[in-house]
Amino acid sequence: MIVLIVNCGSSSIKYQLYDMPGRKVLAKGLLERIGEGASALTHRRGEEKFEIARPIPDHKTGLSLILSCLADPGRGVLKNVREISAVGHRVVHGGERYSNAMRIDQDVIGCIGDCCDLAPLHNPPNLVGIQECTLALPGVPMVAVFDTAFHQTLPREAYLYGLPYEIYERYRIRKYGFHGTSHAYVTNRAAKLLGKPEAEVNLITCHLGNGSSMAAVRNGKSVDTSMGFTPLAGLVMGTRSGDLDPAIIPYLNSKQEYSRVADIDRMLNKKSGLLGISGISNDMRTLGDEAAKAGASSRPQLAINIFCYRIKAFLGQYMAILGRVDAVCFMGGIGENSAAVREQCLAGLENFGIAIDLQKNRNFPRGEECDISEAASRTRVLVIPTDEEGWIAEETYKLCK
């Protein structure tokens, strides 16, 4: 079965084409700057890379270009787009309604639309991608895989805030959690690496990248997660603040510089986190290089320290919630590639049964799964490169096979 995975952003489309069930990637690419003058498509077929620069006014035109590339004699891998058997769509928000992937019908489309006010930057372009793929590939089944779905198993004491209960009932303000496809994929892979049924594993999964989140997983199900009503909550991230005292918002709003709530929102989402603390960059690699030159008291090192401190604090919280932890799992761009961050996050946790082998942590092949624990560590420490698109393809295949 040929499965196309589509992830529509506000001005971009990521895609991967799979041959299932073997999860073989046939082609993939990224179309950027839709609606701008200098749109660009990077299309990959195996080791070959093709770049196309042309104005792309809208997502419909962009998807048409992508489909033509997939079936192009010189760049493509299909004789005809009719070979595509199903399309899986990453949808950021499914609200409280969906805890699994769903075949898309009018009911599902209505729910995605209802959640647009919860994810105004993501759900509208997700809907556009669904609608345009349905028009371009008539009769081909469409599947929605929700970023929030994995966390719908949180108990009420974990997902409700200390607000008047009527606020939750009226506006559905609660913790939803995100990065669900990544946490779900890594939970599945960790169970296999540990040689245990997924329904019996207790894990702390750490998706660390420009956007970062953690999850406490009991018996294969998410029971708590660091992101909340929006992806702004929890850990310090590349440009997002993470958790803070809510009274900071009205305090800043009383100042002339932040008299508009939109300016506070932009600052918290775009100018905070590693970038705001360091004053230099939101890229952990850049911060590591600058900290090495500037020293332990520098702002780049401070940003790294705060990032790791917050992760360690959540580790302790989730260890208390779970009781038994079979493994701590690292994934995402930073989680997979920064040995220094992993070491700093786990330093001093030996008394809690978590110890890593420094040589394994620093020297295992990049891009591969690895158990970096010391032999005597009661809790394993696993590095598992995440594969969100592959997970979406798997969920799509299971629903459509």
- Domains 2-146 and 197-388 fall in the same CATH topology: yes
Give the CA distances from residue 39 to residues 50, 51, 182, in Å, rounded to whole numbers and listed in that order: 14, 11, 28
My answer on whether omega of the bond before 21 falls inside 30° of 0, hence cis, is: yes
Architecture of domain 2-146: 2-Layer Sandwich (3.30)
Domain boundaries, the chain: 2-146, 197-388
Q: Two tokens at 211?
A: 């956007």
* 147 is an active site residue: yes
Choose the catalytic residue: 107, 114, 147, 265: 147
Q: Which residue shows structure tokens 């997939």?
A: 70
Contact 342, 396 (CB under 8 A): no
pLDDT by 10s per residue, the chain, length 401: 999 999 998 888 999 999 999 999 999 999 999 988 789 999 999 999 999 999 999 889 999 999 999 999 999 999 999 999 999 999 999 999 999 999 999 999 999 999 998 888 789 989 999 999 999 999 999 999 999 999 999 999 999 999 999 999 999 999 999 999 999 999 999 999 999 999 999 999 999 999 999 999 999 999 999 999 999 999 999 999 999 999 999 999 999 999 999 999 999 999 999 999 999 999 999 999 999 999 999 999 999 999 999 999 999 999 999 999 999 999 999 999 999 999 999 999 999 999 999 999 999 999 999 999 999 999 999 999 999 999 999 999 999 98
Contact 331, 387 (CB under 8 A): no
Burial status of residue 164 (CB atoms within 10 A of its CB: 0-12, 13-18, 19 or more)? exposed
Nearest 5°: CA angle at 92, between 285 and 267? 55
Domain 197-388 has CATH 3.30.420.40: yes
Instruction: Kindly give the interhelix angle for 180-194 and 388-400, rounded to the nearest 10 degrees.
Output: 90
